[in-house]
Amino acid sequence: MSVKVAILLSGRGSNFLALHGAMERGEVPAEIALVVSNVGEAAGLAKARSLRLPTVSYPHRLETSRSAHEAKVLKALRNAKVEWICLAGYMRLLSSAFVAEFPERILNIHPSLLPAFPGLDAQAQAVEWGVRVTGCTVHLVDDKLDHGPIVAQRAVPVHDDDNALSLSARILTEEHKAYPEALKRLLTERWRAQGRRVVFA
């Protein structure tokens, strides 16, 4: 039985495509039941439509409150019988009420080795700080920004002549491997969240 996954995205959608590809190849025992965006013109949403996946878009700017926006998203997720959620460049913080609806079933990917450089422009932050190594992190989501128990990390070097763009590209290559791999492990292995990390049996 394949697990029903929702993708939440706000932009380009390359991590969504990496997850979708891994599912299509049978590498991850899951299917994308719904793609949700808070940005109507997100390129990722158009890509989902062209793959004939179910999509919904709820522009958050049209809503009166965070909870009103999340109520719409939650309703769509329930209707699609979603079991897991993968945030893939979803640039909205989820409330604790939302997270509680899917306990330990929401994943995020972030382009740094957390807890370094949470938030926006993590790759530019890494260049700015002069770190020699950065990477990406897949983690379970809680109600704090880029914060829950860590599932997997991949490191990449930072070169002297890197800028945010060149570094982002190097990290993205690793993101596209790390995200499907982490989801596969969570769906197929025994694990538990223990403090700040996910421990596999």
Asked if 148 touches ligand GAR (CB under 6 A), the answer is: no
Which x/- pattern, by CB under 6 A, does the window 72-101 give for ligand GAR?
----------------xx------------
Residue choice 85, 106, 113, 146 for contact with ligand GAR (CB under 6 A): 146
11 binds ligand GAR (CB under 6 A): yes
Beta partners for residue 9, in sequence order:
37
- Cα–Cα distance measured from residue 32 to residue 37, given in angstroms and rounded to the nearest whole number: 14
Q: If binding is defined by CB under 6 A, does position 135 make contact with ligand GAR?
A: no
Phi, psi dihedral angles at 104 (to 5 degrees): 55, 30
Asked if 49 and 56 touch (Cβ cutoff 8 Å), the reply is no
Which residue in 88, 93, 109, 92 sits closest to 182, CA to CA? 109
Q: Does residue 110 interact with ligand GAR by CB under 6 A?
A: yes
Strand partners, 3: 30
Q: State the binding string over 40-69 for ligand GAR (x if CB under 6 A, else -).
A: ----x-------------------------
Asked whether position 170 contacts ligand GAR by CB under 6 A, the answer is: no
Q: Does 13 bind ligand GAR (CB under 6 A)?
A: yes
Nearest-angstrom CA–CA distance, 36 and 80: 11
**Euclidean distance between CA atoms 126 and 170, whole angstroms:** 13
At closest approach, how far in Å is the CB of 104 from ligand GAR? 19
Measured distance CA(145)–CA(132) in Å, rounded: 24
Positions that interact with ligand GAR (CB under 6 A): 9, 11-15, 44, 88-89, 109-111, 122, 146, 172, 175
